Amino acid sequence: MAILQSALLCDSAKDYQGKVSILGGFVGAFYSNVTPGLALITLAARVGLEEDEMVENHQLRMRVLGPSGDTLADMQGELRLDLDTAVRIDGVRMGINIIQPIAVPFTDYGINQIEFHFDGQLLSSLPLSILPIPAA
C-alpha cells in the first residue's frame, strides 16, 4: 500500500536522478488583486511503495476545492512504472518522486484545498490561501 513520505506546494520543482530541487517551497498563499483568477503552483510529493508495486501502473488524481468545498478542478492520470531493473534493498520501502504543475482556478479569496489521491486513496490535502495583495 502506498504511503505519503512528503508533499508540499512550491513555485517549481525538478527531479535530478532521485533528488528533488525545490524553488519557492512551502507555498501557503497566493496573492492577487483580481478574482476570479488562476494560481500557478507545483505539487512536489514522494510516495513510498512496496517492491511489488514498483512495476504496476498507478492512478493519480488531484482535486482543487474552493473555500466552500466546491470542486474547482479535477485532474486525473495514470503513472506507468517499469522498474524491473531498479536496485532493491530487502525490507526497505522504495519511493517515487511526483512533480506536478497545477493551474489552480479560484473564484474568490479564501482557503482552497489541493487534494492528492494515489490509487483512489487520499494521501494529502494541502491548504492554499488566496489573498488580496496587501497595500504598500
Kindly give the confidence (pLDDT) of every residue in the chain, 136 residues in length, as a single tens digit, with 9 standing for 90 and above. Answer: 888 888 999 999 999 888 899 998 877 888 998 889 998 999 999 888 887 787 788 999 999 999 999 999 999 999 877 665 444 556 666 788 899 998 888 888 999 999 999 999 999 999 999 999 988 7
Give the integer Cα–Cα distance in Å for 98 and 77. 12
**How far, CA to CA in Å, does 73 sit from each of 23, 25, 69, 107?**
24, 22, 12, 12
Look up the pTM and report it: 0.84
* Cβ-Cβ contacts under 8 Å for 93 (sequence gap 6 or more): 3, 48, 49, 50
Q: Which three cell numbers stand for residue 115?
A: 487534494
Give all domains of the chain, ordered by start, each with its CATH number.
Answer: 3-131 (2.60.40.10)
Q: Which three cell numbers stand for residue 84?
A: 524491473
